[in-house]
Structure 1
Amino acid sequence: MAYHGYDYIFDSADAFKTDSAIYSDSADSDELDCPDQVMSCQCDMHEDIKVELSPHPHSMRQVVNIIIAVERLKHIKGMSSGKFCEDALLNFILENVIEERLVKPLNVTPTYCKTSRTLQCTVCDKYKKTLVQSNKLGSEPLHLKAVTLSAAAIQYKVRFSMSTYVSSAPQKDAQPVCLGISNSNLYLACTQSDGSSPDLLLKEVSGPLNTIKAGDPNGYDSLLFFRKETGTAYNSFESVKYPGWFITTAFDDWEKVEMYQVPTNRTTNFTLEDQQLLPR
């Protein structure tokens, strides 16, 4: 489809901003039919193309930019016998007239909201060692150990209430969770103090944890872990507050459950046993 006439209005505010030099045309190229010191003019480049300059004061730089725009217009590919096709006109507008704007998202603090799904379970590592709670000895903080339990000692298994959360931030392929010890106010927490490496401990929490924000002043964001299922049976737990740090166990019995960066010779793979979905 061909157009029979085009009017282009170039205003000083719309002049192209470029430092490109003006290049000369061949001897038969059209020239702007505008006398010196005149602010409004009109020129015919082809029989069906007309360019008008608005009657506003122009700086020399703006005039140069307008001339460059006109020269570009005269050399559009796809123009035949002074006629434009729709695609050629659209491409010219997109490439030379419309300014590109880069929109950056605002830095929004991620918020984690608790869902109605809570799973009760016990946790074993891939070596079949069960997580148990240590006795508090002296000033040593409460923590977990991984132990191979006999059938007569199953009462020492720690039973967890694993709450699930949804986040306002873009999610990785993992589920945010909090790991609380059932029938208590203790939660697994990944914390850091005095510039040391992140450590895993049991933290007492009073009150509900319905909403947790990153950078929470009470440190509740240290309770969040990304639970990722690997294969058909194993789960890993990565700290939300300290990315790259995972809950791990050693190969030997009675070793402390600790946070480690991967890769590590400790295991990050766990199974969830004795699962029971709590009623809403």
Structure 2
Amino acid sequence: MAYDGYDITFSYDDLSETDSAIYSDSAEYDEMDCADKPSMTCRCNMDEDVNLEMCRHSSSMKQVVNIIIALRRMKHIKTKSSEFGEEEVLNIIMDSVIQERRVERVEMTPSYKSINKMLLCNICDQFKKTLVKSSGSPRLLAVTLRDGAAEYKVDFNLSLYASTSSSSNSSQPLCLGISETNIYLACTKPDNSSPQLILKEITESLDTIQVGDQNDNLLFFRKETGAANNTFESVKYPGWFISTDYYESKAVEMSQIVSKNRCTTFTLRSKN
């Protein structure tokens, strides 16, 4: 197949001269001493010559410069064989190509979806105090119940969730609701105050909870250690845990795990 082009053969002794002809310090690679913008292909034998074919096709200056960069690299290539084929030449050229791409970072809002799995249980702290609902206020108390006082125990529904985004936290996300009610434990933070544990009445669906919405304070990370020790860390306020006081009949509150006067580990007594 005939084409309008050139077939030029360089010996290795001529490569330095070729480089000085192609590259110009004053031009800084912006111009070439030719009227047309040729495309180039090449054949190489490491023991003999470098054949450079130039044909008249529409090419950009960037493409020409990429070919020239590839030719310069060929002078220094070392292979086990004295010859290399089209695939090796293509790899050299592709290594020389510089591509720019603009990447915009999209922030994904974490969300949690219910997996329709629930655990019905009582919750006791490490001193065997049971969580009960206070009759005089909308709060929970930690009380040691005697025999025959089982009716005062609060049954909790632990609704399990799965994160829809990647997270480094391996604990189980869940909501703690009081059985047969629409009341849930929530961690809230009033202005200029530390996070507090409250009982929150919910009327809408909790199939999906997105971080930043009005119900994200219902979520806790449950982490189980040992045989039956569980901690409940607020998802909205990391580092704050559901805790009980060392003394009897005190309110259940949020505290940091470093607190020495609070108990943050609990035992779950399943009723399923």
> Is TM > 0.5 for Structure 1 vs Structure 2?
yes
CA separation of 1:224 and 1:57: change in aligned 2, threshold 3 A: closer
Give the aligned residue type for 2:234. S
Match of 1:151 among 147, 150, 159: 147
Q: Which one is further off, 147-156 or 33-42?
A: 33-42
Q: CA deviation at 1:154?
A: 2.8
* Aligned-partner SS, 2:73: helix
Identity %: 46
Match in the other structure for 2:15 = 29
What pairs with 1:159-174 in structure 2 (closer than 5 Å)?
A: 159-171=155-167, 172-174=169-171
Distance 1:72 1:51, change over 3 A: farther
5+ long unaligned stretches in structure 1: 1-25
* Cα distance between partner residues in 2 of 1:177 and 1:253: 27
Could you tell me how far apart the structure 2 residues matched to 1:82 and 1:224 are?
65
Provide the alpha-carbon RMSD of the alignment: 3.3
Per the TM alignment, residue 44 of structure 1 is displaced from its structure 2 partner at its CA by 5.8
Gap regions ≥5 residues in structure 2? 1-11, 23-31
Q: Deviations over 1:238-272 (max 9, x none)?
A: 11222222112232222322222333323321110
AA matched with 2:154: V
Cα shift readout 1:146-195 (whole Å, capped 9, x = no counterpart): 22222233322211111112221124322221111112221100111214
Shift of 1:204: 1.2
Partner of 2:82: 81
CA distance in 2, matches of 1:144, 1:236: 17
Structure 1 position 106, deviation (Å): 3.3
Q: Which residue of 2 aligns with 1:111?
A: 111
Instruction: Flag the 1:120–1:51 CA change in 2: closer, same or farther, 3 A.
Output: farther
What's the secondary structure of 1:70's corresponding residue? helix
Q: How many residues align?
A: 242
Q: Deviations over 1:105-124 (max 9, x none)?
A: 73222332223222211101
Per-residue CA deviation, residues 190-211 of structure 1 (Å, 9 max, x unaligned), is 1112142211111111233222
One-letter amino acid of the counterpart of residue 151, structure 1 = D
Distance 2:145 2:215 in 1: 32
2:252 paired residue number: 257
Identify the range of structure 1 (153-162 vs 64-73) with the bigger mean alpha-carbon deviation: 64-73
Change (3 A) 1:71 1:271: same
